[in-house]
Structure 1
Amino acid sequence: MRRRGIALLAGCVVMLAAGCTAADSHPTPPPPLHPVPGAATAGDPYYPDDGNGGYDALDYHVDVGYDPANGKLDGDTTVTAKATQDLNRFSLDLRGLDVRGVDVEGKPATFTREKGVKLVVTPAEPLRSGSTFRVRVRYGGDPSATPHGGGSENGWQRSKDGGAYMVGEPHSAAFWYPVNETPRDKATFSVTAHVPDGWTVISNGREQGSSSAGGKTTTSWAEPNPIASYLTTIAIGKFTVDRMALPDGTPIVNAYAPESGGHGEPSIRLPEIIAFLAGKFGPYPQSAAGGIFLNEDIHFSLETQGRPTYAKWAELLTVVHETAHQWFGDSVSLNSWSDICLNECVASYAQWLWAEAKDNQNLDERYRTAVEIFGNSTDFWTSKLVDMGSGHEFQGVYGKGILAVHALRRKIGDDAFNRVLREWPDAHRHANASWAEFEALVGKASGQDLRAFFDDWFRGTKKPADENLYPGSLKG
């Protein structure tokens, strides 16, 4: 018996040495796949055709060639994503442009175009939930020929110097690369662009290098922080480029289109602006800073991440506003477009904070004057700041929104208000957040029940009641 036991033990040792056991000889098979199509929407009711489901985008590498002479773009984009369900089909957003081929994990995939926006991809093999996969899309065409909605949806535009630029909200990225076009799915982003010698390419993040060969200049940029797709950008032009750095070494790149004019002071004062806002909001959250100063009369500037894009008319307070967005809107991105006040109301109020600190403006007097001017204007008070409805997102946030934030400041006091301005970007750094979460943070910081105040100012369509219109020192 003893010998038999020794023999059995020796056999087990041999099996272990060989890397197997009785149990290991029949490894547990993976669970069966139950693949279904990913959703063709991210679920924001204001823009039900935007975004997609079934996966989480992790990274975009956009490789594009662009020839200003004919306006043609040649693209080769790789999207890295993680499946959030078993997938037999999924979609990306791509507006216009002709698709030449799609590969998933190096294997050719079939694809179709739907609704003029969706690139629907069927991989050669289903994708398992939890797996990371790569999608390569090769495409091209004239992006400026793609229809766009107007307003702040600017589409791909040819610039006055013969180059091009891409800036728009809420739709931007899908005009020049395949993307999950929803702020809810932020990802890292990089660009490699090939243009004829003599042209300069500016994008988000940090410069990765530039080289010339065969009459072409290749330039790369990389944004290592997660970025909402509408905050990505590319500008191709005859730029003059200035480079400097913040005290901590963060690179600043300012690019000026020919005859853009008038941007010397704002760009030179950018380190001062960032330092001021960091004193209010906490450490600067982006990998780079600077601006793209266009010679274009578009009616908006935009907080493209780390490097805002400025219209020709932009001045110092515009730079303050777009820089404030690097905390409110870029680092902390909205969860739904109904939450746009999280971006615009606070960034607009940053202009008042600057005026208070730098120009010694009495903000209470400025507030009372504005209320007096607009007091009987039905249109001014009608605009909701939260849950305003699709197409109305930008109607009240720049005017009524500033007054609402100042009234909130006086309602809860400077100590609580300043805590909110710092704790919000810190709590949701490089993530998404909702208006409901903001209200909860303000209530916690102030220790007050503010439901009536928020209903009056942010969800209301009438002039607020006097107790909310003139709180704190505004009673004077």
Structure 2
Amino acid sequence: MIAVESTGERRSTMRLSAAACAVLTALALGTSPAGADPGLIGEPGLDDPYFPMDGNGGYDVTHYDLTIDYTPETYALRGTARIDAAATQPLAQFNLDYRGPEVLMVTVNGHPAGFRRDGDRELVVTPLLPLPPGLPMRIIVDYAGPTADTAGAGWTHAPSGGAFALGQPHSASTWYPLNDTPLDKATFTLRASVPAGWEVMSTGDRTAHEVREDHLHTVWETRQPVIGYLTTIAVDHFTFLEQRTAGGLPVLSAFAPGSADNREDEQRLPEILDFLENLYGPYPFDVAGGIYVDTEIPFSLETQTRPVYAPWAELNTVVHELAHQWWGDTMSVRQWSDICLNECFASYTADYLWLERVHGADVDTKYRDTIEKNRDDQDFWDIPLADPGAENMFTSVYYRGPLFLHALRKLLGENVFFTAVRDFVNAHRNGHASMPEFREFLQSRTSLPLGEFLAEWLDATTAPREDFLYPGTLRR
């Protein structure tokens, strides 16, 4: 900024740098800055070994504030995403992950920004002027259009004419632009409007719920940081169940028209949360509940504070998804190869600990029977727990993960095992953890050498040796 004087009046003029001129040219053309230094362009992916194009470099998001208007009769979605972030490098261009309806306008810090779609997953944004590192960014994206039905891989149309957003590891980008990586957790606000007669459910605390001018307006606040795939919106003719835990935690659950049979299981949610707190420490969020849809999808999902359940969900499913509020939600994976931290623990909790502590089941016998049935079945062991591969993320962690944790428990002993896992998950609240960190932490809690045991259970593609299959009181 250079100040000059002319005929007694003070005027100001701006002299643009060559870099700024390049950005302005790109803005006008909707292209990348010509000849821009690569150091000014945020990476379009963060090189996760399973999904290398997930997430984006150059900035860190702190909060999403979404305003959504959905018309079920026409499947039309109109949205405004306000994304509060900070640049982590000099930034002349950056990407958002987005697969939703047409983008109408993008602004960065109040100024119009260039934008273009790159393939079916990336929204490339060119700010008016390069952003210095550390500068707060407010990105606003307006978008509108008909929604595509992903059939459980994101925005999904329900039989009633309603809709919901669900999927792992990718779903959020089908209904709002974001930095879609586990590494960039942020708080989340949803302001949703639907025609009167419909209801909206989401994650977090419902802070507004009123009908104005023939539309229902709701506001949902997720106050603890969350990953994109753990957010959701669900629109249907819901009925509700309101409860509280013994400690006073508010519990709000919703049931689509065809899911009334699930109500009995959901009434046990306060009991389940008390059970989980005894295992893993205080519940990590300020509300709880569940959303029951009536669409035939092949999975339920641990959306933060309020899991989404398919019609086939049973009590075991509820325990599993609520265990994820610790293992997967407040403590999230660093990369998707760490998926055992999510699914091994949720499966062990529902399939072993709940049966043992609530129903008095002999889980040692359950373990031995499972080992004897499968120890010579090579297919049972050929997907390693510590790195199952992108195509096998949701396989061995469910059926072999609980066996690993039960064997580990018997090797370490009750007190060491349960104290260690409780301390580990609580040390990573609102953050991330990895399988290598978990292994190192376990070794810090015992004088027993764990290297070979962990390697054979987590890394190998054959059954562990006899002593590792039957440690401690499992020894035959």
> What's the TM-score once normalised by structure 1's chain length?
0.90
Corresponding residue of 1:142: 146
Q: Secondary structure at the match of 2:443?
A: helix
Indicate conservation of the 8 Å contact 2:100/2:176, yes or no.
no
Tell me how far apart the structure 2 counterparts of residues 434 and 328 of structure 1 sit (CA, whole Å).
Answer: 12
Q: Which amino acid aligns with 1:290?
A: G
Greater alpha carbon shift after TM alignment, 175-184 vs 213-222: 213-222
1:126-149, Cα deviation, whole Å (9 max, x unpaired): 11111111000000222225xx5x
Q: Which amino acid aligns with 1:397?
A: V
Tell me how far apart the structure 2 counterparts of residues 165 and 60 of structure 1 sit (CA, whole Å).
Answer: 19
Gaps of 5+ in 2: 1-18, 21-36
Deviation at 1:339, TM superposition (A): 0.2
Corresponding residue of 1:15: none
Q: Secondary structure at the match of 2:455?
A: helix
Tell me how far apart the structure 2 counterparts of residues 278 and 232 of structure 1 sit (CA, whole Å).
Answer: 23
1:49-100, Cα deviation, whole Å (9 max, x unpaired): 1110111111001111000001010010100001111111111000141000
Q: Which amino acid aligns with 2:161?
A: G
Corresponding residue of 1:415: 415
Tell me how far apart the structure 1 counterparts of residues 148 and 95 of structure 2 sit (CA, whole Å).
Answer: 23
Q: Secondary structure at the match of 1:253?
A: strand
Tell me how far apart the structure 2 counterparts of residues 309 and 463 of structure 1 sit (CA, whole Å).
Answer: 35
Greater alpha carbon shift after TM alignment, 71-80 vs 414-423: 414-423
Matches within 5 A, 1:253-272: 253-272=252-271
Which of 90, 102, 105 is residue 94 of structure 2 equivalent to? 90
Deviation at 1:248, TM superposition (A): 3.3
Deviation at 1:166, TM superposition (A): 0.8
Corresponding residue of 2:445: 445
Tell me how far apart the structure 1 counterparts of residues 415 and 213 of structure 2 sit (CA, whole Å).
Answer: 60
Matches within 5 A, 1:214-229: 214-229=213-228
Matched, 1:106 2:110: yes
Tell me how far apart the structure 2 counterparts of residues 143 and 184 of structure 1 sit (CA, whole Å).
Answer: 28
Indicate conservation of the 8 Å contact 1:261/1:312, yes or no.
no
Q: Which amino acid aligns with 2:457?
A: W
Indicate conservation of the 8 Å contact 1:344/1:397, yes or no.
yes
Tell me how far apart the structure 1 counterparts of residues 443 and 348 of structure 2 sit (CA, whole Å).
Answer: 20
> Of the two, which has the highest radius of gyration?
1
Tell me how far apart the structure 2 counterparts of residues 50 and 63 of structure 1 sit (CA, whole Å).
Answer: 24
Tell me how far apart the structure 2 counterparts of residues 354 and 36 of structure 1 sit (CA, whole Å).
Answer: 52
Tell me how far apart the structure 1 counterparts of residues 244 and 128 of structure 2 sit (CA, whole Å).
Answer: 48
Q: Secondary structure at the match of 1:446?
A: coil
Matched, 1:324 2:326: no
1:441-471, Cα deviation, whole Å (9 max, x unpaired): 1111122221111111111110111011111
Matches within 5 A, 1:335-374: 335-351=334-350, 352-374=352-374
Tell me how far apart the structure 2 counterparts of residues 462 and 385 of structure 1 sit (CA, whole Å).
Answer: 11
Corresponding residue of 2:333: 334
Q: Which amino acid aligns with 1:412?
A: L
Tell me how far apart the structure 1 counterparts of residues 388 and 450 of structure 2 sit (CA, whole Å).
Answer: 20
Indicate conservation of the 8 Å contact 1:60/1:80, yes or no.
yes
Matched, 1:291 2:295: no
Which of 100, 124, 127 is residue 123 of structure 1 equivalent to? 127
Corresponding residue of 1:29: none
Indicate conservation of the 8 Å contact 2:239/2:254, yes or no.
yes
Corresponding residue of 1:281: 280
Tell me how far apart the structure 2 counterparts of residues 446 and 370 of structure 1 sit (CA, whole Å).
Answer: 27
Matches within 5 A, 1:303-314: 303-314=302-313
Q: Which amino acid aligns with 2:184?
A: D
Deviation at 1:422, TM superposition (A): 1.0
Deviation at 1:265, TM superposition (A): 2.6
Q: Which amino acid aligns with 1:200?
A: E
Q: CA RMSD in A?
A: 1.4
1:95-115, Cα deviation, whole Å (9 max, x unpaired): 141000000011100111112
Corresponding residue of 2:475: 475
Q: Secondary structure at the match of 2:167?
A: coil
Indicate conservation of the 8 Å contact 1:192/1:220, yes or no.
yes
Tell me how far apart the structure 2 counterparts of residues 36 and 449 of structure 1 sit (CA, whole Å).
Answer: 47
Indicate conservation of the 8 Å contact 1:411/1:472, yes or no.
yes
Corresponding residue of 1:195: 194
Corresponding residue of 2:59: 55
Corresponding residue of 2:250: 251
Indicate conservation of the 8 Å contact 2:243/2:270, yes or no.
no
Tell me how far apart the structure 2 counterparts of residues 104 and 246 of structure 1 sit (CA, whole Å).
Answer: 43
Deviation at 1:191, TM superposition (A): 0.3
Indicate conservation of the 8 Å contact 2:191/2:217, yes or no.
yes
Gaps of 5+ in 1: 1-31
Indicate conservation of the 8 Å contact 1:265/1:316, yes or no.
no
Tell me how far apart the structure 1 counterparts of residues 331 and 447 of structure 2 sit (CA, whole Å).
Answer: 24
Indicate conservation of the 8 Å contact 1:206/1:251, yes or no.
no
Indicate conservation of the 8 Å contact 2:98/2:174, yes or no.
yes
> What's the TM-score once normalised by structure 2's chain length?
0.90
Q: Secondary structure at the match of 2:402?
A: helix
Q: Which amino acid aligns with 2:219?
A: S
Tell me how far apart the structure 2 counterparts of residues 475 and 125 of structure 1 sit (CA, whole Å).
Answer: 67
Indicate conservation of the 8 Å contact 1:144/1:155, yes or no.
no
Corresponding residue of 2:31: none
Amino-acid identity (%): 43
Q: Which amino acid aligns with 1:426?
A: N
Corresponding residue of 2:16: none
Tell me how far apart the structure 2 counterparts of residues 270 and 137 of structure 1 sit (CA, whole Å).
Answer: 38
Deviation at 1:155, TM superposition (A): 2.2
